[in-house]
């Protein structure tokens, strides 16, 4: 096992709860046993370290604490976590990611070390967080200790300590990626925008179906396999909010929740644009009918009035108990100006990461607008996807033209699907 992996799992349940504070997880370990777990609570309440120390109680004395982010060392809404760590009698501190906040970065380590506490950070902390008890490099049976990492991202379980160290380095990079949005928010006071798309081997992202009287409509196309789908749900769990356009809502009728990974559901955002949702659409679309979690009312950004949604909020239309939706009017003449207004709205709410799953039209507009940070593009290598599209008689919906000056940062294959990560 890797204790920082356990801390990272805790942090995922703090996403959307702790904002604008970072989502942090922590575990306290004594004599190889996890005696305390914690994650950052709502603003003004305890941070992850304090929650884990409370959970450990007196067992924290002489123990080690593993934290995903550098502990804070200044007074804000709560006292410094470094103070709580010192007073609890912790002997060793391991944190995976350095806080970009200038009030914290590097200062926490000095404070802890001056108190006689050993401190390890970054990749070294992740490697040292591998549990040593029970390791036997010659052992190949199921009794060996392994990392509890995401099975979808791992080729298999490690059988030796060397393999566990390699996965510890993978964990470090996963935590770095997790905090990239927080780092961006701290430095820019703006939400990090991450786009996720999937295309077939021939470059199609959906189907175009012809209807009666010459009408056409977009239809979903099953492109990625289970591994990629799990990865996508993990990204949802890492995100404060998930945004789709009205076209995607009408074509796919998605739930936009986290089902294939652990973590909280993101806030659901609908980019209505100039589409007015009818009463029938509001009554049948799942995004408008699913129960709402506390503090996570769906947001609809719209350029036109939405009377059917107003009736839903007023209790004049069928909905789940205590359902509420926030309609935000956009009054600018251009998509670019409206997208910037929406982005400023989410930034002011303290959202660190916005995940966007756009259809073809919305993706093209966002690419032209330029206000986005990362593109995660899945491409299937399975020719059966395109064969199924061809046999259905529908036309393929092509992915929009890529924006210029893209940089491919990484690429890997998961089952039949290849993920390429681009940045601007």
Please name the residue that has the structure tokens 């350029």: 303
Annotation marks residue 276 as catalytic: no
- Non-local CB neighbours of 213 within 8 Å, separated by 6+ positions: none
Token pair recorded at residue 263: 């973590």
Please name the residue that has the structure tokens 């356009």: 245
Quote the CA–CA distance of 89 and 60 in Å, as a whole number.
Answer: 7
Check 9, 49, 167, 194 and give the catalytic one. 49
Strand order in the sheet with 374-380: 326-329, 299-302, 267-273, 241-245, 353-356, 192-199, 374-380, 417-423, 407-414
Q: How many CB atoms lie within 10 A of CB 213?
A: 4
Whether residue 273 contacts residue 249, with contact meaning beta carbons closer than 8 Å, is answered with no
Which positions are annotated as active-site residues?
Answer: 49
């Amino acid at each position: 096992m890797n204790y920082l992996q356990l801390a990272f799992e805790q942090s995922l349940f703090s996403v959307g709860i702790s904002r604008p504070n970072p989502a942090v997880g922590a575990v306290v370990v004594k004599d190889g046993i996890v005696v305390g777990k914690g994650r950052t609570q709502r603003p003004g309440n305890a941070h992850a370290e304090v929650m884990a120390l409370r959970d450990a109680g007196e067992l924290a004395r002489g123990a080690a604490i593993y934290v995903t982010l550098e502990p804070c060392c200044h007074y804000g809404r709560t006292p410094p976590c470094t103070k709580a760590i010192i007073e609890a009698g912790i002997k060793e501190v391991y944190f995976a990611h350095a806080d970009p906040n200038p009030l914290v970065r590097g200062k926490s380590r000095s404070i802890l070390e001056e108190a006689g506490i050993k401190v390890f950070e970054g990749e070294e902390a992740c490697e040292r967080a591998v549990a040593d008890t029970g390791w036997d490099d010659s052992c190949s049976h199921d009794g060996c200790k392994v990392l509890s990492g995401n099975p979808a991202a791992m080729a298999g379980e490690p059988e030796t300590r060397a393999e566990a160290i390699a996965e510890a380095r993978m964990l470090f990079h996963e935590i770095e990626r997790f905090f990239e949005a927080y780092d961006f928010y701290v430095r820019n006071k703006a939400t990090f925008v991450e786009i996720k798309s999937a295309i077939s081997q021939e470059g199609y992202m959906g189907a175009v179906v012809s209807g009666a009287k010459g009408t056409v409509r977009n239809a979903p196309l099953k492109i990625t396999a289970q591994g990629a789908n799990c990865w996508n749900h993990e990204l949802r769990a890492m995100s404060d909010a998930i945004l789709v356009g009205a076209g995607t809502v009408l074509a796919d009728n998605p739930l936009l929740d986290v089902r294939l990974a652990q973590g909280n559901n993101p806030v659901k955002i609908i980019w209505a644009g100039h589409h007015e949702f009818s009463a029938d659409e509001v009554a049948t679309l799942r995004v408008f009918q699913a129960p709402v979690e506390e503090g996570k009312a769906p947001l609809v950004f719209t350029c036109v009035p939405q009377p059917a949604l107003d009736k839903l909020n007023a209790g004049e239309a069928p909905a789940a108990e205590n359902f509420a939706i926030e309609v935000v009017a956009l009054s600018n003449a251009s998509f670019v100006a409206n997208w910037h207004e929406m982005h400023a709205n989410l930034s002011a709410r303290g959202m660190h990461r916005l995940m966007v799953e756009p259809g073809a039209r919305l993706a093209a507009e966002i690419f032209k607008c330029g206000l986005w940070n990362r593109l995660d593009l899945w491409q299937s290598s399975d020719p059966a996807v395109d064969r199924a599209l061809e046999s259905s008689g529908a036309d393929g919906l092509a992915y929009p033209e890529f924006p210029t000056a893209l940089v491919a940062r990484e690429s890997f294959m998961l089952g039949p699907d290849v993920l390429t990560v681009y940045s601007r």
